[in-house]
Amino acid sequence: MAPGKAAATTDAAATTDSTAAAGAGLARKAIEDIEAVEDIEDIDLDEVYAYPPSAAHTPYIRANFVASVDGAAEVGGRSGPLGGEADLRVFRLLRWLSDVVLVGAGTARTENYGPVVIPPERRERRVAAGLAAVPPIAVVTATAGFDPGARLFRGEIRPVLLTCETAPLDRRRRLAAVADIAICGGSAVEPDLAVRALAERGMTRILTEGGPLLHSQLAAAGLLDELCLTIAPVLAGPGRLGIMKGEPWPAPAALTLTQILAEDDVLFLRYRR
């Protein structure tokens, strides 16, 4: 095994078994239940991250986040400092597999979102697989506070703006020239109505890139099917935003770990609800 590369499943289990006597049974069971511990350079990411077949017609929401080891989702207000080359590869692949990329307006603004970029050979693969050539960005917003000239609206595909009745009418009218507007609630977007609006547009393989406020609402509504979490090998320190924000939940929601991939010191974890 090359230095810095991930251990295979059996290596990890054996190490656990010989070094952690009392906890070994529990840890080993967890590792046996997951798919693999592999180097992402050696695996077919398309196969590993394929959506379940039912997602072609029934909404399936996958979230993708990068976080530091101590749980920070941003450094200096941006996620960029946490992601590296391997994370970017997975980030792009997850976009390439989706019908739509769903984000909150905070993330779209902070990260200066533009249209999704799909390389030509990927477009062909997507179309052959029954997807549109390019997935639109769908943005959840109560204020509709976007400049119609923003980068987000300059692609070949119109973004979807998922907004609500209280969004100022003049803004909605201006944005209707550059985006597909869907009203999904009264004073806020209701997550289930947003998902329904996307499904009505034939978008059921939904990739959400957050941010934390939208993420927590989707999860609280029981709509989040999967969480892909990249753990960057850094400590960001106190005072950072995590991958959830908003109203506290009455109780934690249990997840099942289904996959561990690695490249050097970066972990790619995957959980199902």
Please give the C-alpha separations between residue 212 and each of 45, 66, 130, 169, 257, in angstroms, as whole numbers: 25, 11, 31, 27, 20
CB of 129 to ligand NAP, least distance (A): 26
Torsion angle defined by CA atoms of residues 151, 154, 156 and 162, in that order, rounded to the nearest 10 degrees: 70
Q: How many CB atoms lie within 10 A of CB 176?
A: 14
Phi then psi dihedrals of residue 71, to 5 deg: 90, 10
Contact window for ligand NAP (CB under 6 A) among 59-67, 117-125, 153-161, 196-204: 59-67
Partnered with residue 114 across adjacent β-strands are none
The single residue among 119, 145, 186, 202 that binds ligand NAP, judged by CB under 6 A, is 145
Q: Report the chain's terminal Cα–Cα distance, integer Å.
A: 33
Of the two residues 13 and 107, which places its CB atom closer to ligand NAP in the complex?
107
Strand order in the sheet with 180-183: 37-39, 256-263, 266-272, 226-232, 60-68, 205-208, 100-104, 137-140, 160-163, 180-183
CB of 61 to ligand NAP, least distance (A): 14
Of the two residues 73 and 131, which places its CB atom closer to ligand NAP in the complex?
73
**How many residues make contact with ligand NAP (CB under 6 A)?**
33
Instruction: Report yes or no: 140 and 189 within 8 Å, Cβ to Cβ.
Output: yes
CB of 131 to ligand NAP, least distance (A): 23
Residue type, 135: P
Binding mask 222-251 for ligand NAP (x = CB under 6 A): -------------------x---x------
CA distance linking residue 48 with residue 84, whole number of Å: 20
Of the two residues 51 and 113, which places its CB atom closer to ligand NAP in the complex?
113
Of the two residues 201 and 240, which places its CB atom closer to ligand NAP in the complex?
240
Residues 254-273 that bind ligand NAP (CB under 6 A): none
CB of 76 to ligand NAP, least distance (A): 9
Contacts of 225 (CB under 8 A, 6+ apart): 60, 61, 62, 272, 273
Q: Is 258 helix (H, G, I), strand (E, B) or coil?
A: strand
Binding mask 125-144 for ligand NAP (x = CB under 6 A): ---------------xxxx-
59 near ligand NAP (CB under 6 A): no
Of the two residues 84 and 106, which places its CB atom closer to ligand NAP in the complex?
106
What's the Rg (C-alpha) of the chain? 20
Of the two residues 82 and 131, which places its CB atom closer to ligand NAP in the complex?
82
Of the two residues 23 and 145, which places its CB atom closer to ligand NAP in the complex?
145
Binding site for ligand NAP (CB under 6 A): 65-67, 73-74, 77-79, 82, 103-107, 110-111, 140-143, 145, 164, 188-189, 209-214, 217, 241, 245
